[in-house]
Amino acid sequence: MPASSTLSCAVALALAAASGAATAAQFDYSLFAGIEHSDNINLSTSNPISQNVLIPGLNFTFVQQGSAVQTNVSGTLQYKDYLGNAFDNQTLVQLTGQANWTVLPQRLDFTIQDFAGVEPLSTLSSDAPNNQQQTNVVMLGPTLHFMLGDTLRGQAELRYINSDASKVKEFDSSRGEAALRLFKDLGPNDQLSFNLETQHADFYNAPSDSDNNPDGVLNNPDFTRNELFGRYVSKLTHFNLDVALGWSQIDFKAAPTVSTPMARVTLGWVATPHSSFSVTAARQYSDAALDMALQPGQTFIGNGVAPGSTASSISTGGAVIDPQVYLDQRLEGVYTLTTDRLTLTASPLYRKLDYLNDHSFDQTGHGGSGALDYRLRESITLSAYVNEETLNYRFLGRRDESINYGISATYTRTPHWSWRLSIDHRQLNSTASGAGYRANEIYFGVVFRR
């Protein structure tokens, strides 16, 4: 599915679902338009270009909880008009959507999931407009439910998965996935499951085995991924635990098979009525398409972009868009404090990627982000954010440190109309010659909310 068609498909899906149970559906949207000025729109070290950008767009959410169809879609459509013609104008889409059709109650479901975003062509270059592309991952297929006892039930899944990038075509793939799961209810708040998953990936545009390969990089990256693991989930009033432990194997078509223990652990704690903590640790095989589907909107920066920036509704991700498989080891936490006037979030992160066949992008990253919203008055909210990350590319001998921060003020004139003013600073320090930059941005926009 081309990435440019993602939004129209999602909207059509939402409207089709709404026709079946309109009373159970809720569609919300906001229209925005703003002007942004950057003193370094191309994020260049030595040749910055000052530019104004007109940015109209649409945010929307659609939620439906019907007996036959359940839908949850949220997205942003944004158009960027570079008024000084430094770059071609852009239409950008970011979307996360899921629709489930209950074909036979408690027996058979059919699910569609779609994840669209903006990713870099090269994570070693700055987040300039000519280093951005649309990506899309769509997953669809049936789920069969069956009972094996009062507290034991089973689930069989089949999925077709398609990944697509608008410019780096080596990323494009078609995948088939099958899973068998057994669930045992240990109590009203505790569940144990045993899971067997297998996925086969075929890449459309990968080089053939006969191509010259002087660097030793795997030409044919097609693979089969098998996982066997147990999972324990506990959901209490103030404490949540989700633990998955097992074994993972990658069987490449043109390289030796590899395997490793896999683990995923998430712990959540509601410490007080106003504060909560969560910690996630993982060790597992992954690739760019799988990462986008399982962790949409992740905060791993990668190339100095600014997730959470107040100047733009869509931020560029940090994934290396290629077919390569890597061992993903990560540790991340989130602390949230919410009061009547104040919302504070802090998120530290550590991540290490070890690529299995091409070690060019082996990397270790650490850093964190923080955001603060303070309601000065009923109609005025002041906000600030900061994020920092240091990336070490071990094979390339390169070190990048990105620092981004900004402040903004939002004035709500009426329940439908508001305006926002923001100032942002973006900075990248790199050991690679000519890779660093500094940029300042100021944005003013108006929002109409339904």
Range list of β-strands (E), 271-362: 275-287, 325-338, 342-355
Residue-wise pLDDT for 261-304, tens only, equals: 999 999 999 999 999 999 999 999 999 998 888 764 443 333 33
Domains of the chain as residue ranges with CATH:
3-449 (2.40.170)
The answer to whether residue 320 scores a pLDDT higher than 60 is yes
Give the DSSP letter of residue 23. G
CB 329 within 8 A of CB 363: no
Maximum distance among all alpha carbons in the chain?
69
The answer to whether residue 427 scores a pLDDT higher than 50 is yes
Residue-wise pLDDT for 207-266, tens only, equals: 654 444 545 555 678 999 999 999 999 999 999 999 999 999 999 988 899 999 999 999
Residue partners of 151: CB distance under 8 A and separation at least 6: 184, 185, 186
Report the percentage of the chain scoring pLDDT > 90.
82
Nearest to 423 by CA among 438, 403, 406: 406
pTM across the whole model? 0.88
- Give how far Cα 392 sits from Cα of 99, 198, 233, 401, Å: 39, 32, 35, 9
Report the percentage of the chain scoring pLDDT > 70.
88
The backbone torsions φ and ψ at residue 129, rounded to the nearest 5 degrees and listed phi first, read -55, -30
Residue-wise pLDDT for 102-121, tens only, equals: 999 999 999 999 999 999 99
